[in-house]
Structure 1
């Protein structure tokens, strides 16, 4: 048989596993665990030899209970390649059935002959062995089998338990072609196992059987019984009538006394139930209940096929119902007789009716054991299924899903708006919202989810909430307080056969978080005290989980608010790049991803993206500290590699401060952080970048070509001792720089190269605005359920018009200062900036004179006309000036004071050739500012009126 496309994944994963490679992401956990156990047992895929045992209990209680069920499965799958098998608790096959009878002749012995043991210790991963190991319904498909001989098929297996003890008695397994996988098989397997378990229950009590035998002995001694076997009365009733009749019979058995009760059935029949005591040969006292009907009611006397000579019918009785007040364990129905003698089993008191056995048993035998086991199973399962997430609404829904249908038919849960927000409710009776509506069918007759719920003080729900106790309403038809809330709504609910209610407050730490309402409709029996206790226990467990989810929601919202406050709320105005950004928090919690756009001197701009490892408050706070530090280092006009060095030193110091000198203090520190720092210069179109363990950016050229530059990685921040390297690129105008964090492309459900290719395709569009690029990346690349937060920054480059840049190169000659002033004045006039000409001449005179007197090498003067006017004077000296207060008698020291007063900002930027002193000036000078700025400096020079002669700084 060839491999299907769906088989290829498991085949490759299995081969990788056998080679010792990691396959956690490609294989289901139960299968992987079984593979690991198989290897640890020393099994080989091509050498799994199965032991054969002969001590099979092929006539035992399990085989007897399962035989008719296996026959029914064979009929269901007639003509199909289906192998039905029953194994005992050891994994040894007891019986087999085949949908296609010819399979028995062409399959190997291990798939046809009973006696082979399929325990995981011998067969490796297979249906029977895995069901015994996992103790639940499982599926094994194709290459998931450990043994090579089994990899062409699929199988489903489910344990069969003793209903009283809960012990696994055996396994029911279905083998079929891999192409026949269907969800419906789960239902078939579960129902079949349930019927076998019911038939086991029917055989479980030797005392019950002795009572049944005593009853049969009495019937055999009746003359009218000879040769007149009749089917049980209940076999001729519809399910609803039969259920009501059995419930009333159970009540009579529980009473443990003789009685006669007339029962009116919904179908219109009237049946008399007669209970009599019976004693077995061993002295066990019990009760037998027979149904007696008028002989004129032919609807109960139509013959049906029975199995003669067998004390048990092939039709199993319904499982004992734990919700009835006192349900005895029912034996299987026994063929009865038509009796014509008064006062004897099988006859009516007046001798005019026909009757038959309904139930026989001891009062209460088996009922409490079954009920207690079911209750424990439900609570045990609830501990694993309620609270699987830290989501308030999801936790409430898990409570409802647990209770339906095993406890209730419908469940509604109402929570205050404050709880849904994560807050602690001040008044739980106000602002209640219908959070969950769940039932056995979709047409639930209740307020829909999301609506606000208004409750009257007399309703059971509000009584339970205000009183803090569970309220049981066995019969809603007579519950005036419940009907008073809304007569029309109450009548609609009653019209759907909803008849019983348990309202439970969701209490955690003494605080009422809401209400859970359990309704019964399908089962005519009302809720009882045991049901109330079970509902209260389920609600208590769920309330604790809801409270945990509520507190997590609150803390998550606080951390998210903190992180958003630490991220940029808006970007400063600049013309170098056009930017768009996105930030998406992880589903599991807030992380430490961040980004920033920082304007630099001379119309340049810095783009930064970083990531702090981890989630929660610590990561968000650390992110804020790093972002603030990056802005401060950027103000120093450092190149990218030096900025990363300073950040690296900072992270190292923070780690040492948090952990202290003791490496075993238990403090985790920052653990790790990455960063990408980019500087773009619109005058030269040069882009310089460096990264510290971060993802490289994507470059999108104007024609849509996408590249990921080969940028030196550099170590993550905090390791120390290693240098960072820069890379330089020239970007045409209209290019896009795409910076992102690893959450965008790293996903456990997706290959890294696949994600990178998705990003490439999303970016490969020419001349697209950054905002559209961001949206395209989010839609095409972001995982559906991100496990890590994501920061995305898209910047489209612009170029400063060359006509807005003026440059003069001149030697270090003081006589050229006036020449530069004149040239600057002409350029400002050409730009239409005559208004600020005086101030710029004064400012440049100071900067150029300082460079001439204290600098070295050739001098360059540059003007950049952007949002502001930037004046630059560069030389080859590395000595920077410092602003200071000059004394009255000092001949110098006032030039920088002038520069600081005339400009918005000024500073020094070091280059490979020397330094640049720059100053940014507004394009419109406020009135009087120049004279105010120059006055204090000029006063100290007396008669020095020429700017050419002003002393250097």
Structure 2
């Protein structure tokens, strides 16, 4: 029953210990390799229960496979005759006995021998791979992991052996790779997923691209699964930034209405970039006027134009908000620079100390990180955007986040300035056109005359046809109607 140390053409195959067990678990066969592995002679081993050789219990679920007479491969710890523990990889294959029951062929290989006899290049390729690698048995339990994987899971290879992924990491996010391992074991087909999870010891989640490959023998039977995971968080963040900016280009500026444009900015930013956002503008922008210079001293007064839908903010939409000159909002508009802040910084502490209502709001909503970005369109100060993260598990803002916020603000500022200019032109046009309308109608002998102004385009409010009544001799009048070409100030003139 002995197995040679290596098969022809396969110099990497280690010696295998073989044993045979009856359906009740009693050992009926014992090879020389088994004697070398555990120290028991055939006479000492045959007749004993195979389970009596275990130094630690089998992984959960294995006995169920035995009851169903299913093949199983996994990590076990056996007891040597001298009392020492022997770690090995064990494969149990059913041997039908003809009465509906099955005995078992047991194949064991000392794991230390596997590592020692393995070609160094193969071992180094596994240990030094830039990927986080893991090998799972047919139960989806860890057999081997390299150093990158132990760092990501914050556990040694010894700690992980015999465990399923979710037994070590109960976070629901790790259910996806566990399902993939089971699927590959069941189908024998490779699978690829992307997963976004937080690993132990990290303050924020990482993005992973993960490949699961079935490990098959020459007959195509699946004996395990290899997992190769690569952290692509930077590429993922760049992709998300581009997606957000692309969404912003589609949604911001759908109209020439200042308030609506500001709300579109808020809608795009939440929740991908912020948990809370507010857009405050100078009153002159809402009127379409040229905004005045930012005051060097005294508080900055802005009007709240947009915020996160449904948010209970300190300042409601439509109300004025006053910011002291030393606050991040006032400084951002005065300098034209965006800034990143964390709660607890001296500047934030000073600001909140002078605004207890806002301080209470931040404390109540667990705000911990914020960004302030000015809105400047064509060199004109329009207002300020305030971004905040409230979720304690969310990572603090970094310079990469500020760059996205600045790009969003720059796009929105151009649209806001367009809306401001349209508001100014629209107001001017209406004033001019109404000033050109007749203030009264001269009485006519031949006819009674009445007039009414109805714009051709109710949305724009200007344009259409003009009319006039001209008295002529002999109790006659001339009724004249003409068309106004175009819209706006020039059309009115």
The one of 383, 387, 391 aligned to 1:514:
383
Equivalent residues in 2 for 1:328-367, closer than 5 Å: 328-330=206-208, 365-367=231-233
Distance 2:428 2:246 in 1: 34
Cα-to-partner distance string for 1:869-927 (whole Å, 9 max, x where unaligned): xxxxxxxxxxxxxxxxxxxxxxxxxxxxxxxxxxxxxxxxxxxxxxxxxxxxxxxxxxx
Query: Which residue matches 2:338?
Result: 470
- C-alpha change, 1:455 and 1:574, in structure 2 (3 Å) is farther
Equivalent residues in 2 for 1:218-617, closer than 5 Å: 218=144, 229=164, 231-235=166-170, 308=182, 310=184, 318-319=195-196, 328-330=206-208, 365-428=231-294, 431-439=301-309, 442-475=310-343, 479-522=348-391, 524-573=394-443, 576-577=447-448, 579=450, 581-584=452-455, 586=457, 587-588=459-460, 590-598=462-470, 607-617=479-489
Cα-to-partner distance string for 1:771-805 (whole Å, 9 max, x where unaligned): xxxxxxxxxxxxxxxxxxxxxxxxxxxxxxxxxxx
For residue 351 of structure 2, give the secondary structure of its aligned residue in structure 1: helix
Q: Unmatched 5+ residue regions in structure 2?
A: 1-128, 147-155, 213-226
Aligned residues: 321
- C-alpha change, 1:603 and 1:370, in structure 2 (3 Å) is same
Q: State the TM-score, normalizing by the size of structure 1.
A: 0.30
Cα-to-partner distance string for 1:71-100 (whole Å, 9 max, x where unaligned): xxxxxxxxxxxxxxxxxxxxxxxxxxxxxx
More strand by share: 2
Kindly name which structure, 1 or 2, has the bigger radius of gyration based on alpha carbons. Answer: 1
Q: Unmatched 5+ residue regions in structure 1?
A: 1-206, 243-303, 335-358, 622-953
Deviation, 1:490, is: 2.4
Query: Which residue matches 1:703?
Result: none
Deviation, 1:506, is: 0.9
- C-alpha change, 1:306 and 1:542, in structure 2 (3 Å) is closer
Distance 2:461 2:383 in 1: 26
Q: State the TM-score, normalizing by the size of structure 2.
A: 0.55
Asked whether the 8 Å contact 2:456–2:464 carries over to 1, the reply is: no
For residue 494 of structure 1, give the secondary structure of its aligned residue in structure 2: helix
- C-alpha change, 1:606 and 1:484, in structure 2 (3 Å) is farther
Cα-to-partner distance string for 1:220-244 (whole Å, 9 max, x where unaligned): 997887766463444356x8xx9xx
The one of 194, 207, 212 aligned to 2:134:
212
Deviation, 1:487, is: 0.5
Deviation, 1:415, is: 1.0
Deviation, 1:573, is: 4.4
- C-alpha change, 1:233 and 1:588, in structure 2 (3 Å) is farther
Deviation, 1:515, is: 0.7
Asked whether the 8 Å contact 1:433–1:453 carries over to 2, the reply is: yes
Deviation, 1:426, is: 1.5
- C-alpha change, 1:492 and 1:574, in structure 2 (3 Å) is farther
Cα-to-partner distance string for 1:28-86 (whole Å, 9 max, x where unaligned): xxxxxxxxxxxxxxxxxxxxxxxxxxxxxxxxxxxxxxxxxxxxxxxxxxxxxxxxxxx
Distance 1:462 1:318 in 2: 41
For residue 584 of structure 1, give the secondary structure of its aligned residue in structure 2: coil
- C-alpha change, 1:569 and 1:453, in structure 2 (3 Å) is farther
Deviation, 1:209, is: 5.8
